[in-house]
Chains A and B, each alone.
Chain A
Amino acid sequence: MTIAAQDFEARVLDYIGGQMPQADNLGLEDVSRIAVGWSHETWLFDLTWTEGGTPRRQGLCLRRDPGNALLRHMSSLEEQFRVLQCLDGTALPTPKPYWFESDPEILGAPFLVMEKVAGQCPSPWGREGRAFYAEAAARGVLPQSFTEALATLHTLDWRAAGLDFLGVPASGADFVRREIAKWEDLIAVSGHAPEPILTDLVAWLKANVPDSSRIALVHGAYRTGNLLIDDDRVSAVLDWELQVLGDPMYDVAYVLSDLNREGTSLLSNLVERDAFFRDYEALTGSTIDEEVCRYYNALYAMRSVAFWMSAAGLYASGQSNDLRLARTAWSVPVVLERAARELGY
């Protein structure tokens, strides 16, 4: 459902008014829709109101599920909301969640409203973003904060936080098998033609599953671009779409991957490799297993193929008219070529 901008704001105000019966004179200011990510539509605005005669203001972020998210049936704003609720009050910096609404009648699709945290989130893929992270790397504060936030995530007591609803894998190969099955499922629904290198990759992954005995909350896409930065510190870990309970090396492998840096040896365009190893191991008390990380890199190649096949399929089937998705049809061979190199050919 398409809703005109003015009507959209009126509906948002009406909804929030229903959630805040104590508030009077509700208003929205500085409303902007931001172009981020592939899955959800995002708006930022300031909510103003009076309460007991006192004027109030709160920055908010609204995310709406357009119904044609890259992750298809795996995309769940409700799960994101629950994860943020669980993380609220923990040592991990995350936006405070306020409301989740599943009724599509209100804004045309389910949505959530959370705190607009202070900070910026430069894209690491653009020239300006790369310059931002290069300057921050030189100052040396943000790189440590990047590693500290990851260590906080991986040492979080996920059971105490109530995150076991995400599904607790058994010790051993269960976590990896679940991940492989998840991405196989997405590939299957994408409607993409068979790809022999992908068949080789998946068979190789299944034949070489590492054991993982440690279970942590894994973000699934921990990198610059998914972190809000304020005053050289990570002010919020964002994009809770791929989180899972599993081997923390899965996140570490993502940090180590050269997929997430461009024109620099700095991990995620920000952190010196040696400093990352030193700080992460000291903060978590865990040793980084590079061999397991290499395996997870191959698993990320499979995941990337699944993403791009899903995206290209959404365009091909007419579920989306976004040409960024059409373009991903040519990203599939690029990732497959990378996968072939991971497998040694």
Chain B
Amino acid sequence: MQEHDLLHRIATLLKKELGPAIEAEYPKTQAFMASVVLQKLAGQLAHAERDRDLGNKDLTALIAELKTYPEYLSDTALRSATDAVADAADDAALCTLIDTLYAQRAALGEERFGCWMGRVRQTLRAAIDRRMEYAA
């Protein structure tokens, strides 16, 4: 049995059998809430490997495209922030890139800022859509 299947079964037990058998209000609510938490966790675990792989793939595609933008060569702050995303491949580096983009907005101009942010947001949208599959 896989971990997420086990969690799913415990969540169902809590919701359908254990929770309804509890009379006191607070523990009853907590039992139902435990069921919800386990359901979410089961969904997250079930998708973890796929999400990690797709996330890495999306990030690689993002960096590859950003490196083709002229400002990657002309703007040292943007180049450095983009390279940091490539190296670290994590959300903290992505946050720094976004902050850098806003800081460089005036220098970039609205059209180029929109182009960079639009491409970054495409990656963010794909990531949040994956998380919504178990979070919503």
A interface residues (Cβ-Cβ under 8 A, vs B) = 35, 193-197, 199-200, 203-204, 206-207, 322-324, 326-327, 329-334, 336-337, 340, 343, 345
A196 close to B132 (CB less than 8 A): no
Q: Report the Cα distance A258→B132, complex, angstroms.
A: 19
On chain B, the residues within 8 Å of A203 by CB distance are 98-99, 102
Instruction: Decide: B105 and A196 in contact? CB cutoff 8 A.
Output: no
Chain A interface, >50% SS class? helix
Contact B91 A196 (CB under 8 A): yes
Q: Is the CB of B92 within 8 A of A345?
A: no
CB-based nearest A residue for B34:
A323
Please indicate the chain B residues that have their CB under 8 angstroms from the CB of A200 in the complex: 98, 117, 120-121, 124
Give Cα A206–Cα B99 distance, bound, in whole angstroms: 11
Distance from A72 Cβ to chain B, minimum over Cβ atoms (Å):
21
| Residue in B33, B118, B131 whose CB lies within 8 Å of A324 | B33
| Docked CA distance A330–B25 (Å) | 24
Nearest-Cβ distance from residue B34 to partner chain A, whole angstroms: 5
The answer to whether B30 and A323 have CB atoms under 8 Å apart is yes
The CB with the most chain B CB atoms within 10 A, among A324, A326, A333, A343, is that of A333
CA of A332 to CA of B124 in the docked complex: distance in angstroms?
14
Which listed residue (A199, A327, A332, A336) contacts B37, Cβ 8 A? Answer: A327
Q: What's the minimum C-beta distance from A207 to chain B, rounded to whole angstroms?
A: 6
Are A197 and B29 within 8 A (Cβ)?
no
Is B72 in the interface zone, CB < 8 Å from A?
no
Q: Is the CB of A197 within 8 A of B25?
A: no
Q: Which residue of A lies closest to B30 (CB)?
A: A323
Set B29, B94, B118, B125: member contacting A35, Cβ < 8 A:
B29
Q: Could you show 12 A-B contacts with beta carbons less than 8 Å apart?
A: A35-B25, A195-B91, A196-B94, A196-B98, A196-B120, A199-B98, A200-B98, A324-B29, A324-B33, A331-B135, A332-B135, A333-B135
CA separation between A271 and B121, bound complex, in Å? Answer: 36
> Hey, which bits of chain B sit against chain A, CB under 8 A?
25-26, 29-30, 33-34, 36-37, 40, 44, 90-92, 94-95, 98-99, 102, 105, 117-118, 120-122, 124-125, 127-129, 131-132, 134-136
Q: In whole angstroms, how far apart are the Cα atoms of A331 and B40 in the complex?
A: 10
Contacts of B127 in A (CB 8 A): 196
Interface of B is mostly: helix
Inter-subunit contact A333/B121 (CB<8 Å): no
The 3 closest A-B pairs by CB, nearest first: A323-B33, A203-B102, A199-B95
Taking a contact as CB atoms closer than 8 A, the residue among A194, A197, A330 that contacts B128 in the complex is A197
B124 close to A196 (CB less than 8 A) = yes
Expressed in whole angstroms, the Cα–Cα distance for A322 and B33 within the complex equals 9
Contact of B132 with A333 in the complex, beta carbons under 8 Å: yes
CA distance A330 to B105 in the complex (A): 32
Query: Closest residue of chain B to A207, judged by CB?
Result: B102
Are A330 and B91 touching (Cβ within 8 A)? Answer: no
Nearest B residue (CB) for A325: B33
Are B30's CB and A343's CB within 8 A? no
Query: What is the CA–CA distance of A306 and B90 in the complex, to the nearest angstrom?
Result: 21
Smallest beta-carbon distance A31→chain B, Å: 15
Taking CB atoms, residues of chain A closer than 8 Å to B135 are 330-334
Bound Cα distance from A9 to B117, whole angstroms:
59
Which residues does chain A contribute within 8 Å of B125, judged by CB atoms?
A: 340, 345
Contact B102 A330 (CB under 8 A): no
- Of A200, A206, A327, A334, most buried by chain B (CB within 10 Å of CB) is A200
Distance (whole angstroms) from the CB of B134 to the closest CB of chain A: 7
Known: A196-B120, A345-B122. 15 other contacts (CB 8 A): A35-B25, A35-B29, A193-B91, A194-B92, A196-B95, A197-B128, A204-B102, A323-B33, A323-B34, A326-B33, A331-B135, A333-B128, A334-B136, A336-B128, A343-B121
- A330 — which chain B residues lie within 8 A by C-beta? 40, 44, 134-135
Neighbour of B124 across the interface among A35, A207, A323, A340, CB < 8 A? A340
